């Protein structure tokens, strides 16, 4: 099993350009997530999905859109990139949390380093 | 709201030294607690977890005990190795019935172990 994979690994954009980051998982997980990691900020949730065809906003959704057309894929789009979106982006997936005591162990991809000039 | 606070790094230790990375949390109810590790150039990996008070999570020589009375989940290892050099993240997950269980991360603590 490949687990969670992300493409591309690196990308440089100019301000105003658009791009899509692809996340794929082969663990048949229902839930998928997009995070950004910035120095001194830890990981912050951008958007997440609890199933095919559903998405929801996380902590920092502005400037990003997502789509979950297939269960195994979760796409993160930047319509008009800004320098403030320079970051490392991580995708993760998990099984559903079952019940009040259920765990949400997330499995992470290797990340995409994005620079916006 | 829920939050996680970790000791600020970086932490630099010599090989075989004792490690403690402090983590405290604020949460409603009884969250699950996690430590994730990020090795250079890689994504995060789950290191250990605990789901209720007094639970002790352990893995690869690392341990952390869920202390409800002090709202803490400190990470410890008795003898660190150079290969433990990484960034360590404490995280919590809401456990109330209507929650999706999204993770809330601390800011991370970078550990460097010198030979």
Residue of A nearest to B34 (CA): A105
Chain A residue numbers touching B89 (CB-CB < 8 A)? 42-43
pLDDT per position as a tens digit, B23-61: 999 988 778 899 999 998 888 999 999 988 999 999 999
* pLDDT grade for B9, boundaries at 50, 70 and 90: confident
Looking at residue A98, what is its pLDDT? 67
Looking at residue B94, what is its pLDDT? 73
Looking at residue B99, what is its pLDDT? 57
Distance in angstroms (rounded) separating the CA atoms of residues A84 and B84: 32
Chain B residue numbers touching A44 (CB-CB < 8 A)? 105
Distance in angstroms (rounded) separating the CA atoms of residues B82 and B88: 14
For residue A23, give how far its alpha carbon lies from the nearest alpha carbon of chain B (Å). 13
Taking residues A65-72, report their average pLDDT: 96
Is B106 within 8 Å of chain A by CB? yes
Token pair recorded at residue A26 = 């082969």
List all residues of chain B from 24 to 83 with a beta carbon under 8 Å from chain A: 32, 34, 36, 41-46, 49, 51-52
Looking at residue A10, what is its pLDDT? 95
Looking at residue B95, what is its pLDDT? 62
Looking at residue A99, what is its pLDDT? 62
* Strand residues in chain B grouped as ranges (E): 3-6, 11-14, 19-21, 23-26, 32-38, 44-50, 56-59, 62-65, 75-77, 86-93, 103-105, 109-114
């Amino acid at each position: 099993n490949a687990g969670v994979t992300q493409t591309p690994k690196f990308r440089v954009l100019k301000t105003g350009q658009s791009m899509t980051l692809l996340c794929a998982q082969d663990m048949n997980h229902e839930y998928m997530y997009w995070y950004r990691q910035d120095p001194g900020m830890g990981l912050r949730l951008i958007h997440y999905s609890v199933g095919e065809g559903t998405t929801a906003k996380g902590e920092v959704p502005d400037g990003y859109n997502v789509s979950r057309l297939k269960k195994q894929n979760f796409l993160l789009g930047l319509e008009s990139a800004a320098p403030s979106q320079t970051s490392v982006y991580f995708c993760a997936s998990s099984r559903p949390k079952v019940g009040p005591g259920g765990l949400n162990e997330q499995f992470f991809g290797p990340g995409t380093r994005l620079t916006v000039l | 709201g829920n939050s996680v606070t970790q000791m600020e790094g970086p932490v630099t230790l010599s090989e075989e030294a004792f490690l403690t990375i402090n983590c405290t949390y604020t949460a409603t109810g009884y969250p699950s607690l996690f430590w994730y590790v990020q090795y250079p150039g890689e994504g995060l990996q789950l290191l250990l977890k605990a789901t209720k008070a007094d639970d002790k999570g352990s893995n690869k020589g690392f341990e952390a005990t869920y202390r409800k009375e002090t709202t803490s989940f400190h990470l410890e290892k008795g003898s660190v190795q150079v290969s433990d050099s990484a960034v360590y993240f404490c995280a919590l997950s809401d456990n109330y019935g209507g929650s999706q269980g999204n993770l809330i991360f601390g800011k991370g603590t970078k550990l460097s172990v010198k030979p």
